[in-house]
Amino acid sequence: MKPYLLVEWNDNVTDAVGWMCLYNTVNGYADGGIRMHTGVSKEEVQRLATVMAWKHEACKPRSSGGCKAGIRYDYKAPDAEEVLERFIVAMMPYIDAGVALAGDLGVPFSTTRKIYAKYGREIPLTKTMKKNNQILENMRAYNVMLDQEIQGFSLNNCITGFGVAWALDEAWKSKQGNKKGRVFIQGFGCVGASAAQKLVELGYNIVGVSDALGVVECQDGLDVAELIANKNTFGEMDRSKFKDTYTVKPNSEWLDVDCDILIPAALEDVINKDNATKVKASLVVEGANIATTKEADEIFAEKGIDVVVDFVANLGAVRAYHSVIFGNLERDCQVVLDDIEKVCRGNTRKLFDYAEKENMFQREAAYKIFEPTACDPLEI
């Protein structure tokens, strides 16, 4: 099935270019995030929208289709929020018809919420959903829940990363039983940082982390709590707070860190045909969407490296949103987190069991297990 709709936007103030891709809808509804960085492309947005469609299928019960948007612009630029606002305004006809665009890489969800509020909108819904008072009540309660603190994070900033950690733990147990492994995390934004904290709680050793500025390594284990406490809003760690036992390396050496488990938790295609042979880990857990290319998958299959694919590992925020909005879960943070743990672990077990039974690489197995089928028209 091809994407249902692809729209291009050109900013009339800067050289920013953006795309919105709607892969499919369920009952006229679809959702996904808006990302912003200088390398965004039309092809990337299409691939991300496809992943979102499979992610919704993995989230069962399925209540939304998949979409994604991307803006080719520097998210650190002083006018980045103004560019984002103009993009959202341009997409408003689709948003009002039931295409819910939230935050993603380089675009905080809180910023999209602020822009929607400025134009008299809340979380985007279809016309039918807007007439359902229970959905409206659940949506407002969910907005409040997102800001509640969970172990030093807002729920919004930990819900995906915790899910990644639980998926990792389930996959590692299938490989090694109760023996814990050494983890390297590429990317230390909300997903990478919260996954690191949860993994430490689960008994794993975080031996390395990278951010936009470089790599920090300690085979005896990094002090994750201290790294989180001293990072900025862009996920960059304060080098002045590093311990003497830490080794600092350039980002070109991020795959040189010896580890058992690798979490790519930042940009797309970071593991590719040029570097996949350097992966030392026996398990890759995709905290970021489309972190691994097709060519890298082929190398992993040959080397016997297992993968928890993106739409199985990082579905936490999507699952939580729909479970609360559509009344499938109690509006309570702990109930939501318990549900995400159950879903992430269950889907990971299903994935690994199916791949082993069918003698199939995990990516191929995941696309078979969670293939979406529905595509309804938008509500105009």
Is the backbone peptide bond immediately before 78 cis, with ω within 30 degrees of 0?
A: no
Specify whether the CB–CB gap between 372 and 55 falls below 8 A: no
By DSSP bridging, strand 205-211 and strand 214-217 are antiparallel
Which distant-in-sequence residues (6+ apart) come within 8 Å of 199 by Cβ? 165, 168, 169, 183, 206
Which distant-in-sequence residues (6+ apart) come within 8 Å of 12 by Cβ? 86
Would you state the pLDDT for residue 324?
Answer: 94
Specify whether the CB–CB gap between 72 and 144 falls below 8 A: no
List, run by run, the mean pLDDT of 10-residue segments along the chain (380 residues): 92 98 94 95 96 93 91 97 98 94 91 95 89 93 93 95 98 93 96 97 98 96 96 90 96 96 94 96 97 96 97 96 92 96 98 97 96 79
Structure confidence by residue, pLDDT tens digits, 305-350: 999 999 999 999 999 999 999 999 999 999 999 999 999 999 999 9
For residue 205, what are the CA distances in angstroms to 1, 68, 69, 73? 42, 34, 35, 36
What DSSP string runs through 79-108? THHHHHHHHHHHTHHHHHTTEEEEEBTTB-
| pTM for the predicted model, two decimal places | 0.91
The structure tokens listed for 278 are: 């350097």
Domains and CATH numbers, the chain: 5-57+65-131 (3.40.50.10860), 154-369 (3.40.50.720)
Would you state the pLDDT for residue 178?
Answer: 87
Ramachandran bin of 208, using left for φ above 0, alpha for ψ from -120 to 50, beta for the remaining angles: beta
Would you state the pLDDT for residue 326?
Answer: 92
Give the residue numbers marked as catalytic. 68
Q: Which of 156, 98, 132 is nearest to 326 (CA)?
A: 132
Would you state the pLDDT for residue 33?
Answer: 94
How many residues are listed for the chain in this entry?
Answer: 380
The structure tokens listed for 323 are: 């479970």
- Which residues make beta-bridge pairs with 263? 185
Specify whether the CB–CB gap between 379 and 93 falls below 8 A: no
Which distant-in-sequence residues (6+ apart) come within 8 Å of 55 by Cβ? 66, 310, 311, 314, 315, 318, 370
| Element (DSSP H or E) covering residue 267 | none
Would you state the pLDDT for residue 88?
Answer: 98
Residue-wise burial string across 109-134, b where 16 or more C-beta atoms lie within 10 A, e elsewhere? bebbbebbeeeeeebbbbeebbebee
Would you state the pLDDT for residue 30?
Answer: 94
Specify whether the CB–CB gap between 102 and 111 falls below 8 A: no
Specify whether the CB–CB gap between 126 and 97 falls below 8 A: yes
Would you state the pLDDT for residue 375?
Answer: 77
